[in-house]
Every structure is written in C-alpha cells, then in structure tokens.
C-alpha cells in the first residue's frame, strides 16, 4: 500500500494513501471530535463535528470521510474549524434535553465531554417543548428517550449494518426528524432482538439499559431472602474499565471481593454453569451426530441470537440446542440443587445474574425458564455497567480491593467455561470435551486456534477418531445471517455452529462498559478483552469442563447423567417462531 | 419540566409478545409486484417503486410498505423512513384532488397565509387532512417556483395565480 506525507498542525506524518484526514490526525496524536463516525461502517459525514481545514479544499471538510493527499496541510484547530464545530455543537445542544445530573450517562457522555472541550457556557437557542422527556420503554431491556437523541445515527447503522436487523431509522425530516421505528410504532412491535448494541454506541443517554439495580438492592435489604449472584465469564475482563483500569484487565478477584462486601449470601461463577452447558450440549451434539438428525447443532447461549433465529430464521429452530443459557442454568441449579443442599425454600432464594448482555434481561422472562414451575430461574439480570454503579454506590474503592475467590460450592470452574466469553469459546470448550468422549482419551489438544479471533465468520474441520467434524463460528448478526444463508443454499454444510449476537462475542456485548467512539474507532476493544480471557484460560490447571469437580458432584449427587430426564427438565428449554412484524394485524 | 411522555409496552411476560405469523399481502398488490420486478437491482429504485405504487393505489399504507420492503429485502424502517421524508408520499388515502397553497417567501408575503386560514375555515379541515367527502386533500407547498404569480395555489397539476381568499372559493367550485 502506498504512503503519503501530510502535515497535521505543522507536524509531518506519513500515512497510508487510503487514510482519511481523521486517521492521519490520529497518527499525529491529534483527536478530531466526531459524533456520527464509526470505524467499521462507511462514513456518512452527517454530524459535521469533525469539520477541519485542509489545503486545497474550498471550505471545511468532514475529516471522517475526506481522503488525504500527498503534501496536504491539515489544520485541525483553525479558528474557522473551531467556530464551525462550536456552532454545530450549540445547535445540537439546543435540541438536547440537558438533564446531565440525573442522566444514566452522567460522567460518561460524549456530548457532555464535547460541551466541556468546546467551552460551551450557555445554550442560546432552543424550545421548551424539546426539553420534555420522550420515554419509550416497551422493551424489557432498553429505554429510549428521544429528547436526548442527537441524530448521529450510530444506533441506526449498527442495527442495520452490523446486526442486519434495521428496526430503527430516521423518520420525517427537518426539525421533525427523529430516530424511531417504522410508522412510529413501539420497539416491541418490531423484531428487535434485544442485543443492546445500539446502547453501546449511543453518545448520549438517549438509549440506556433498563436499570434493575434497585431490585437487587431491595433483595439485599430483605432479610428473608437468600441472595446469590453469578458472574458471566466476560464480565471479569471488562468491569475494570468502569474504574479507569486498562482495557483487558482481569479483575476477577476484586469483583468477587466487591460482591461479597455488598452483602451477597453466595458469590458464584457462571463459568460453572458454562461447564454444565458443555456437558449437556456436548451430549446433545453427540446424540445428533449419531442419529444424523437436526444437524448442524447451533448453540443457544446468546439470547439475542436465539430471538433473531425465532424472528428471522424460524426454519433453523430445530437446529438450536435445547440447552438453556449458562445464566438460566445457573438460576435453575440455584433454585433446585443448591436449595436442596442448603435446606432452603426456592422461593426464598433471589438469583442475580451479572451479565455482559441486555438480552439476558429479556431472556429471564422467556417461557420455559422455570426449573421450579412458577418460580423464575433468575430474579434479576444486571449488566456490567449496572454492577459498576452498584459498586460505586457501596462506597467500595474497587482498585484497592484484595483478590478473593468465589464461594467454592459454585465457584470452581474450568478454562473451557471461561472462554465462553469470547467468540469461538463455546465451540472450543465443546470440542475439548467432545473429543475426549469420542476418543475415550484424556487428549492433550486444548487449543483450537482456528475458531479463535475476532473475524466475523470462522470455519474449521477436525478429525475425531476418524470422523470429520465440520464447524463454523459467527459473531455479529449480519455475519450469522451470511452464514445461515450459505447453509440454507447448500453452499456450506456443518455439524456444529456457534453463533453470538454481538460482534466478538460477550466481551463486546450490549451490557459491557461503554467506551466512547473515539476509543472504539482506534482501539481494538474485542481483541484486547478476548486476550485477557484466553491468557487466563492458558494459565488454568483445569481446562476441560468434564474435569471440574463441581460438575462431577452435580451429576453424581443430583442430575444423574448428562442428558438425563432430570437434566432435561431443569436445564433445557423450548423455542417458538416469531413474526418479523409482531403486532401487525392483517 | 412538566409532563413526561411515556409510551409503555405490553405486559412484560413473554407469551404476550408472540404473534401469529402474518400472511404476506403479495396477492393484493400484483401491479406493484410488476413494478418491483422492473426496477429491482437498480440503484435508488426504492423511490421509483414508491412513486409508482402511490400512483397505482393512491397512498402507501403499512401493509403495502411491508410488501415492498419484503420484495426488495430492505428493513421496513428504511422504506417507512423514505416515505416519511418526502412530503409527496402519503400513508393515508388522499382526496380526489390535492390543494397545495404555496408558502414560499414571495407567496407568504403576498398573502398565502390568509388563503391557508380561509381554507381551514371553509373546508373545515387542517393542513395535511382530507375532507370528509374525500374530495380535497389540503396541503402546504414550499415554493413551487411561481413567485411571479404570488400568491399561487396548485390544485393537482394546475397552478392558479394571484389567488385571494375570495377567489379560492370560486376556483374550488369548479372541482
């Protein structure tokens, strides 16, 4: 690739001829503010925050879309650019309901930061009617407030391009423009899958998760409740970001210590039920391999993907694993096995899931998610972000906490359970166990590198005792769609497929800490977070799910064998085809 | 601030979110299906198709937009977004004739606003609405390019010049 030399604020830098002004400036260590630009999506140049002065152009150019030329002189901070950006910002602020103190994104808002950076002291324009909240809370996982929307369209683009869903878009025009669903319907009347990717890219508080922290606080304060918490695999490698720690820091020990100090009666690891998932799903896979029915088996850990399948690809429902997700298996085991072991009434146990995911909030309301009939498996599902807020509320100085271990009864797990947090992890964990079962040996092969990494679609073929197993892994729903279309057309054929709704898997889930787009555009979040997971797995002694003593005890003492009738009753679920246009009467 | 606008959904329990799959209305729009086949694959074909579909059916209701979205493999939100952007597209059935009072700068200062007020009274409907008998749809236009004739009113494809409140009643009587 050819390179060119440009000057950024007088400093010479060499960059690729394909770079934009924004990228060249970054190479020179200069940030140009952006609102609409997203690295993985073609620039739309809509927000005008990045306007910059460059030599050879008639007016200011949109740095996110304007290509560099050899010898170009870029002046990111000219008076002209500064004035234009400030004016644009004032116009955006004039229609933005500025309730910063009570906003979910207080202290972590891109608009708030721009307002500070551009020294906005007064918003001179605006109408009182724009300052009225416009709450739409039809979905379980999300709350929209268009009075805070700045029309940057990041949510629209990630929904349509990255997830291939497109249930929201700009409607009307001029002052009346708003991001909404077709015909201004509520989100629950669309085939939204609850992935929450829109929340993670929203620069303001227009899109937020439905906060369930009060529910958890109330349970903790209720002395009649035995409150247990389980943390998903990926949360330990992202939570630190909320406390200023570098991306990709594993804070498992501090997270456990924090939860214990908050007053949970049991601090457990959902990695344990990820191991349990492998036992059940591995057994299911071997059964289907033998019978040849309903192949490929498709994983069901990601509730966003499951809902996507039900709305858009109902023909693949028979292929879905009937296993509940690790969160739901955790709840199910707490209300049955654990309740029995502890001599507790399941009704007195309050189960909290700490998840990287907004769809988990929805998942707990799904049908067939009650191991004890009538009692939900999980009572509250909160995101990594909500946990961080609760830690702040508790007055705990997170970075100073000692490292502590999970409570042992549900706290010992394998590396296989841990890697569920990254795309390809469920597949690799399954292969580690299935290969041992098929060969009847304790194999040394632990690393299945072909299914790792953040590419959208990965394929591999493995020899299991002479039988060729073809697998595929997709993350991000546009990739899932592409993969399923190939399977449908007969172009590709697999025995097992892992699908995660969010690009990169749970480490990049809709409930993970929000990094501003200025970071997302230039730092590979997914790789850094995944690296922390794989390095922890590498250092673990026990790396196969079936080797876990907790798993052995659960089956010996309670469930019998994987796939047993009891296991099916407690740990498996059902699916249903859903309309692409819910609520539209013909 | 005062009242919060809250739009809540159905009950949280999942079963209520499940609906029977809809029957695609393909059979009801054969002419549009033909138009779609003609334009499919051409860049920017959506607007052509919407234009033709409105020409055939008079408006673009939800199920027609769903049909177009499905046929072109586009999200419904994109189709609906385009329809809502252009004021010449309509989701509701239109009257037999469309009155468009120009409120461009020239027409505005020469009394366009008075014509609007007068029509509101005499037709008994607001801008954007259709009379009960289905005869007239009443709209506002932003400069129709006839500033020399201000204030101008368009009825369907005919332009009327130097209209006044008094004149407009006589004009409408012809329809």
Q: Are residues A383 and A444 in the same domain?
A: yes
- Segment A215-274, tens digit of pLDDT: 999 999 999 999 999 999 999 999 999 999 999 999 999 999 999 999 999 999 999 999
From CA B148, how far away is CA B127, in angstroms rounded?
24
Nearest CA in chain A to B24: A586
Do A173 and B84 count as a contact with CB atoms less than 8 A apart? yes
Q: For residue B58, what pLDDT is reported? A: 85
Q: For residue A584, what pLDDT is reported? A: 76
Q: Which of A453, A455, A448, A456 is nearest to A429 (CA)?
A: A448
Do A135 and B14 count as a contact with CB atoms less than 8 A apart? no
pLDDT at B11 over 50: no
The answer as to whether A135 is a domain residue is: yes
Do A578 and B2 count as a contact with CB atoms less than 8 A apart? no
Share of chain B above pLDDT 70, in %: 85
Q: Are residues A267 and A170 in the same domain?
A: no
Closest-CA distance, A373 to chain B, in angstroms, reads 15
Contacts for B99 with CB less than 8 Å, ≥ 6 apart: B119, B136, B137, B138, B139, B153, B154, B155, B172
Mutate to test the interface with A, among B61, B68, B75 (most CBs of A within 10 A): B75
Token couple for A295: 């192949």
Share of chain A above pLDDT 90, in %: 96
The answer as to whether A584 is a domain residue is: no
Q: Could you write out the DSSP letters of every residue in A212-278?
A: -HHHHHHHHH-TT-EEEEEE-GGGGGTGGGGGTPPTT---HHHHHHHHHHHT-SEEEETHHHHHHHH
Q: Could you write out the DSSP letters of every residue in B50-62?
A: HHHHHHHHSS--H
pLDDT at A473 over 50: yes
The answer as to whether A147 is a domain residue is: yes
Q: Which domain holds residue A488?
A: 214-571
Q: For residue B23, what pLDDT is reported? A: 37
- Name chain A contacts of B23, Cβ cutoff 8 Å: 586
Closest-CA distance, A483 to chain B, in angstroms, reads 17
Nearest CA in chain B to A576: B18
Q: Are residues A272 and A363 in the same domain?
A: yes
- Name chain B contacts of A172, Cβ cutoff 8 Å: 84-85
Mean pLDDT of all residues belonging to chain A: 96
Q: Given A189, A209, A229, which residue is the final one in a domain?
A: A209
- CB-nearest to A581 from B12, B18, B22 is B22
CATH of domain B97-173: 3.40.30.10
Do B19 and A578 count as a contact with CB atoms less than 8 A apart? yes
Residue A326, SS3 per DSSP:
helix
Closest-CA distance, A13 to chain B, in angstroms, reads 39
**Average pLDDT score over residue span A426-438:** 96
Q: For residue B19, what pLDDT is reported? A: 31
Share of chain A above pLDDT 70, in %: 99
Chain-centroid distance, C-alpha B148: 27
pLDDT at B8 over 60: no
Mutate to test the interface with B, among A168, A176, A177, A183 (most CBs of B within 10 A): A183
Does the beta carbon of B10 lie under 8 angstroms from any beta carbon of chain A? yes
Do A133 and B84 count as a contact with CB atoms less than 8 A apart? no
Token couple for A221: 């304060």
Chain-centroid distance, C-alpha A539: 25
The answer as to whether A581 is a domain residue is: no
Token couple for A41: 């999506």
Q: Are residues A285 and A344 in the same domain?
A: yes
Q: Could you write out the DSSP letters of every residue in A12-58?
A: EEEEETT-BHHHHHHHTT-PPP-SS--TTS-----S-TTEEEETT-S
Q: Residue A389: count other Cβ atoms within 10 Å of its Cβ.
A: 15
- Name chain A contacts of B74, Cβ cutoff 8 Å: 166
Domains contained in chain A, number: 3
From CA B139, how far away is CA A412, in angstroms rounded?
70
- Segment B90-148, tens digit of pLDDT: 898 888 999 999 999 999 999 999 999 999 999 999 998 999 999 999 999 888 999 99
From CA A264, how far away is CA A98, in angstroms rounded?
36
Q: For residue B6, what pLDDT is reported? A: 61
Token couple for B41: 């694959």
Q: Are residues A272 and A243 in the same domain?
A: yes
Residues for chain A: how many in total? Answer: 586
Virtual torsion, Cα A255, A256, A261, A263, nearest 10 deg: 120
- CB-nearest to A188 from B3, B17, B81 is B17
Q: For residue A465, what pLDDT is reported? A: 86
Q: Are residues A263 and A285 in the same domain?
A: yes
CATH code where residue A182 lies: 3.30.70.20
Q: Given A55, A89, A123, which residue is the final one in a domain?
A: A89
Q: Residue B18: count other Cβ atoms within 10 Å of its Cβ.
A: 13
pLDDT at B15 over 90: no
The answer as to whether A580 is a domain residue is: no
Q: For residue B87, what pLDDT is reported? A: 81
CATH code where residue A306 lies: 3.40.50.1780
From CA B24, how far away is CA A24, in angstroms rounded?
50
Q: Are residues A285 and A174 in the same domain?
A: no
Q: Are residues A100 and A181 in the same domain?
A: yes
Least confident range from A70-79, A234-243, B21-30: namely B21-30
| Residues on chain A bordering chain B, Cβ-to-Cβ distance under 8 angstroms | 97, 128, 131-140, 160, 165-173, 181-183, 186-188, 190, 362, 365-367, 576-584, 586
- Segment A99-152, tens digit of pLDDT: 999 999 999 999 999 999 999 999 999 988 889 999 999 999 999 999 999 999
From CA B51, how far away is CA B59, in angstroms rounded?
9
- Name chain B contacts of A182, Cβ cutoff 8 Å: 62, 65, 76-77, 79-81
Mutate to test the interface with A, among B20, B23, B29, B77 (most CBs of A within 10 A): B77
The answer as to whether A10 is a domain residue is: yes
Q: What is the DSSP letter of A508?
A: G
**Average pLDDT score over residue span A502-506:** 98
Q: Are residues A40 and A184 in the same domain?
A: no
Sign of CA dihedral A136, A137, A139, A143: positive
- CB-nearest to B9 from A181, A188, A581 is A188
The answer as to whether A230 is a domain residue is: yes
- Name chain A contacts of B5, Cβ cutoff 8 Å: 132-135
Q: Which of A11, A45, A10 is nearest to A20 (CA)?
A: A45
Mean pLDDT of all residues belonging to chain B: 85
**Average pLDDT score over residue span A460-489:** 96
Mutate to test the interface with B, among A178, A581, A584, A585 (most CBs of B within 10 A): A581
Q: How confident is the model at residue B42 (pLDDT cuts 50, 70, 90)?
A: confident
CATH code where residue A18 lies: 3.10.20.740
- Asked if B71 contacts B46 with a C-beta cutoff of 8 angstroms, the reply is no
pLDDT at B26 over 60: no
Does the beta carbon of B21 lie under 8 angstroms from any beta carbon of chain A? yes
The answer as to whether A389 is a domain residue is: yes
Do A165 and B75 count as a contact with CB atoms less than 8 A apart? yes
Closest-CA distance, B120 to chain A, in angstroms, reads 23
Quick one: which H or E segment has residue A137?
strand A134-137
Q: For residue A309, what pLDDT is reported? A: 98
Q: Are residues A69 and A133 in the same domain?
A: no
Token couple for B50: 């919407």
Q: How confident is the model at residue B1 (pLDDT cuts 50, 70, 90)?
A: very low
Does the beta carbon of B174 lie under 8 angstroms from any beta carbon of chain A? no
Least confident range from A135-139, A396-400, B23-27: namely B23-27
Do B66 and A365 count as a contact with CB atoms less than 8 A apart? no
**Average pLDDT score over residue span A372-379:** 97
Q: Given A63, A89, A115, which residue is the final one in a domain?
A: A89
- Segment B148-165, tens digit of pLDDT: 999 999 999 899 999 998
- Asked if A504 contacts A454 with a C-beta cutoff of 8 angstroms, the reply is yes
- CB-nearest to B21 from A171, A183, A577 is A577
Q: Are residues A301 and A349 in the same domain?
A: yes
Chain-centroid distance, C-alpha A210: 15
Mutate to test the interface with B, among A44, A158, A167, A169 (most CBs of B within 10 A): A169
Q: What is the largest CA-CA distance in chain B?
A: 63
Least confident range from A201-205, A248-252, A360-364, B154-158: namely B154-158
Q: For residue B14, what pLDDT is reported? A: 37
Q: Which of A237, A265, A295 is nearest to A472 (CA)?
A: A295
- Name chain B contacts of A586, Cβ cutoff 8 Å: 22-23, 25, 63
- CB-nearest to A188 from B4, B10, B20 is B10
- Name chain B contacts of A181, Cβ cutoff 8 Å: 77
**Average pLDDT score over residue span B1-13:** 46
End-to-end alpha carbon distance in chain A: 55
b/e burial code for range B133-161 (CB count within 10 A of at least 16 → b): eeebbbbbbeebebeebbbbbbbeeeebe
Contacts for A8 with CB less than 8 Å, ≥ 6 apart: A24, A25, A27, A28, A30, A74, A76
Q: What is the pTM of this model?
A: 0.92
Does the beta carbon of B27 lie under 8 angstroms from any beta carbon of chain A? no
Domains of chain B, by residue range, sit at: 21-85, 97-173
Q: Are residues A41 and A133 in the same domain?
A: no
Closest-CA distance, A137 to chain B, in angstroms, reads 5
> Measured between alpha carbons, how far is residue B133 from residues A283, B94, B124, B129, B136 in Å?
68, 11, 11, 12, 8
């Amino acid at each position: 690739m050819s390179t060119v030399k440009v000057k950024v604020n007088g400093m010479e830098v060499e960059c690729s001829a394909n770079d934009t002004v924004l990228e060249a400036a970054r190479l020179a260590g200069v940030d140009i503010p952006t609102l609409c630009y997203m690295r993985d999506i073609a620039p739309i140049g809509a927000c005008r925050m990045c306007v910059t002065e460059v030599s050879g152009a008639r007016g200011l150019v949109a740095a996110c879309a304007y290509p560099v030329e050899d010898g170009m002189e870029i002046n990111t901070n000219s008076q002209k650019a500064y004035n234009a950006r400030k004016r644009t910002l004032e116009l955006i602020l004039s229609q933005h309901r500025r309730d910063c103190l009570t906003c979910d994104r207080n202290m972590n808002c891109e608009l708030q930061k721009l307002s500070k950076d551009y020294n906005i002291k007064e918003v001179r324009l605006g109408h009182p009617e724009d300052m009225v909240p416009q709450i739409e809370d039809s979905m379980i996982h999300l709350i929209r407030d268009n009075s805070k929307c700045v029309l940057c369209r990041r949510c629209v683009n990630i929904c349509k391009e990255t997830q291939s869903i497109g249930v929201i878009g700009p409607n009307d025009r001029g002052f009346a423009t708003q991001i909404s669903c077709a015909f201004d319907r509520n989100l629950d009347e669309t085939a939204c899958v609850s992935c929450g990717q829109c929340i993670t890219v929203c620069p303001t508080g227009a899109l937020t998760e439905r906060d369930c922290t009060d529910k958890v606080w109330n349970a903790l304060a209720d002395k009649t409740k035995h409150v247990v918490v389980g943390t998903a695999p990926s949360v330990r490698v992202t939570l630190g970001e909320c406390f200023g720690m570098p991306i990709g820091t594993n804070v498992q020990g501090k997270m456990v210590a924090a939860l214990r100090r908050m007053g949970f009666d049991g601090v457990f690891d959902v990695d344990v039920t990820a191991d349990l998932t492998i036992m059940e799903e591995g057994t299911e896979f071997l059964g289907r391999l033998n019978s040849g029915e309903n192949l490929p088996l498709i994983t069901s850990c990601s509730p966003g993907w499951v809902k996507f399948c039900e709305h858009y690809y109902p023909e693949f429902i028979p292929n879905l694993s009937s296993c509940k997700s690790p969160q739901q298996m955790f709840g199910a085991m707490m209300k049955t096995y654990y309740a029995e072991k502890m001599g507790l009434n399941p009704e007195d146990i309050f189960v909290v899931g700490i998840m990287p995911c907004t769809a988990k909030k929805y998942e707990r309301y799904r049908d067939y998610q009650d191991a004890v009939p009538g009692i939900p498996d999980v009572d509250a599902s909160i995101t990594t972000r909500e946990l961080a807020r609760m830690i702040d509320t508790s007055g705990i100085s997170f970075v100073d906490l000692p490292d502590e271990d999970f409570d042992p009864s549900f706290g010992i797990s394998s590396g296989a359970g841990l890697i569920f947090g990254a795309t390809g992890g469920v597949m690799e964990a399954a292969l580690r166990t299935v290969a041992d079962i098929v060969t009847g040996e304790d194999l040394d092969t632990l690393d299945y590198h072909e299914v790792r990494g953040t590419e959208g679609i990965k394929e591999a073929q493995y020899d299991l005792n002479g039988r060729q197993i073809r697998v595929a892994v997709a993350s991000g729903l546009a990739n899932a769609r592409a993969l399923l279309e190939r399977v449908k057309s007969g172009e590709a054929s697999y025995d097992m497929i892992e699908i995660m709704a969010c690009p990169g898997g749970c480490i990049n889930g809709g409930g993970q800490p929000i990094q501003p787009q200025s970071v997302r555009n230039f730092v590979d979040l997914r790789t850094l977070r995944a690296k922390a997971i794989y390095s922890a797995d590498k250092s673990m002694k026990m790396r196969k799910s079936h080797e876990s003593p907790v798993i052995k005890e659960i089956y010996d003492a309670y469930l019998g064998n994987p796939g047993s009738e009891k296991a099916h009753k407690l740990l498996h679920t059902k699916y249903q085809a859903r309309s692409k246009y819910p609520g539209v009467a013909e | 601030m005062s009242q919060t606008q809250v739009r809540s959904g159905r009950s949280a329990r999942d079963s209520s979110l499940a609906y029977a799959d809809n029957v695609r209305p393909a059979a009801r729009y054969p002419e549009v299906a033909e138009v779609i086949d003609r334009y499919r694959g051409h860049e920017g074909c959506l607007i052509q198709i919407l234009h033709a579909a409105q020409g055939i059916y008079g408006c673009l209701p939800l199920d027609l937009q769903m049909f177009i979205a499905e046929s072109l493999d586009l999200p419904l939100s994109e189709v609906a977004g385009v329809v809502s952007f252009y004021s010449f597209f309509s989701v509701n059935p239109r009257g037999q004739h469309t009155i468009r009072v120009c409120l461009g700068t020239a027409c505005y200062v020469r009394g366009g606003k008075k014509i609007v007020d007068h029509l509101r009274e005499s037709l008994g409907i607001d801008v954007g609405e259709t009379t009960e008998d289905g005869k007239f749809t009443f709209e506002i236009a932003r400069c129709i390019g006839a500033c020399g004739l201000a204030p101008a009113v368009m009825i369907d494809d005919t332009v009327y010049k130097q209209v006044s409140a008094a004149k407009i009643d006589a004009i409408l009587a012809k329809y």
